[in-house]
Structure 1
């Protein structure tokens, strides 16, 4: 091997090493995730009327602790069910469906064709987190829950949590809501806590609970609790088996135990 060839190989190796070092030291990180669940449960309430959902998101994080991302899922919030009768009177002046001052159709009584009920959720979030020591971590965040094809449904929260070893506690405060004098409006608070443990054979176990305090309650505030067993299965993502239950007014919420399964893969 000639000296120029040796020098070229050495320079190439040095350049490659420098590129790998620069890449490894990049403070930026990007990831994507996709998943599927047999029931989209959120804070003890099904968002799909006990039906399945396909979900996914994109995330960015910085070495400083800053992060931001977006996440989406199909939903079905028609608690009345699809068998109810739909009555939509026509405006005699225009021949079109009659609407109120806010543009909502008048006379709707229930059913899956409700034009004001969203069919998907799109979340936007950002936050900043770090650790005080190896055992104590903190996180501050803000999230905007958007329902683009719904009406008067969007709301936003700010929140925070502390994690000490296997114990997490936090709260979320609603700072903006379009559902005036209803649920998910300004001033709502959700308190939550969780315990996370490692199990043999690379299984993980989580127990969690929370309490939702609505400003405009009318008896709708509730507590919820549940548990999850999960396991990573290599390149195939993570599978989970879950239990959730709602302790609220049984005339408002489904209070029977709910068991559901989930799968998620991060790229």
Structure 2
């Protein structure tokens, strides 16, 4: 995932000026944020979710200063299933923070529910997943490892594990380079295990996040998928 951080500037005040009172935009002690984007494909774990067509995506999050967060995200999908499902809606809740004694080390744990409204129940598209990750900021680069587990994965394929390795490197001119190598494993052999990898560039221009990502799957045989995805996103 390519991410960009916004820096807040503190305005200067004259000595005789009255102190400014900041408007409290918090909700129940937390902050609301949102995002919206257009992408030439929706790639999930190396596999297209839109039949190699474009996707419009967006989400909303509420995060507390303690690290607790909750949110929802959605996208159009196309599984070539006779329009059984055309939308994916994900709801999630979790906790993310840095270690006090080692602020370079951060963690994120939570649970996410994938919902595909309109799909018939016998397709068993909907599923729940637990996830956790660790990240370390080396200044010159940031590395991460993660694990996601579902007791009953998409399409009733049983236990599924997803192992993630990621690296992000800042480049000159505020360009970011990010990549990852991941392993999808199905415990009951209901589907072939495979790997996927990706590498991409990110840049923020006038508050708009631009991304170009190449992704590919390995060991999916004739179903191997590769894609070059361009994205335009905006966070608010």
User: Whose helix proportion is higher, 1 or 2?
Assistant: 1
5+ long unaligned stretches in structure 2: 1-17
Q: What is the Cα deviation at residue 77 of structure 1?
A: 1.0
Q: Once the two structures are superposed, what CA deviation does each residue of 1:70-122 show, in whole Å capped at 9, x if it has no partner?
A: 000001112xxxxxxxxxxxxxxxxxxxxxxxxxxxxxxxxx6x25x311100
- The structure 1 residue matched to 2:125, chosen from 146, 150, 153, is 153
Which residue number corresponds to residue 143 of structure 2? 167
Given the two structures, how large is their TM-score scaled by the length of structure 2?
0.82
Q: Once the two structures are superposed, what CA deviation does each residue of 1:158-196 show, in whole Å capped at 9, x if it has no partner?
A: 01000011110010000345733x2xx3x2100001001
Q: What is the Cα deviation at residue 205 of structure 1?
A: 0.5
Structure 1: which 4+ aligned runs deviate by more than 6 Å? none
Q: What is the Cα deviation at residue 144 of structure 1?
A: 0.4
Structure 1 residue 138 and structure 2 residue 107: aligned? yes
Which residue number corresponds to residue 179 of structure 1? 155
Task: Classify the secondary structure of the residue corresponding to 1:77.
Answer: coil
Task: Classify the secondary structure of the residue corresponding to 2:51.
Answer: coil
Partner Cα distance (1:64, 1:261) in 2:
34
Partner Cα distance (1:243, 1:160) in 2:
25
Alignment of 1:84-99 (within 5 A): none
Kept after mapping to 2: 8 A contact 1:219/1:249: no
Kept after mapping to 2: 8 A contact 1:207/1:226: yes
Q: What is the Cα deviation at residue 214 of structure 1?
A: 1.1
Structure 1 residue 202 and structure 2 residue 204: aligned? no
Structure 1 range deviating more: 212-221 or 32-41: 212-221
Which residue number corresponds to residue 38 of structure 1? 40
Q: Judging changes above 3 Å, is the alpha-carbon distance between structure 1 residues 177 and 227 closer, same or farther for their aligned structure 2 residues?
A: closer
Task: Classify the secondary structure of the residue corresponding to 1:134.
Answer: strand
Partner Cα distance (1:38, 1:149) in 2:
24
Given the two structures, how large is their TM-score scaled by the length of structure 1?
0.73
Q: CA RMSD in A?
A: 2.1
Q: Once the two structures are superposed, what CA deviation does each residue of 1:22-72 show, in whole Å capped at 9, x if it has no partner?
A: 558x84110111101001001100001111000001110000100010000
User: Whose strand proportion is higher, 1 or 2?
Assistant: 2
Structure 1 residue 254 and structure 2 residue 220: aligned? no
Which residue number corresponds to residue 8 of structure 2? none
Kept after mapping to 1: 8 A contact 2:25/2:31: no
Partner Cα distance (1:177, 1:218) in 2:
10
Kindly name which structure, 1 or 2, has the bigger radius of gyration based on alpha carbons. 1
Higher relative contact order (CA closer than 8 Å, sequence separation 6+): 2
Partner Cα distance (1:219, 1:154) in 2:
17
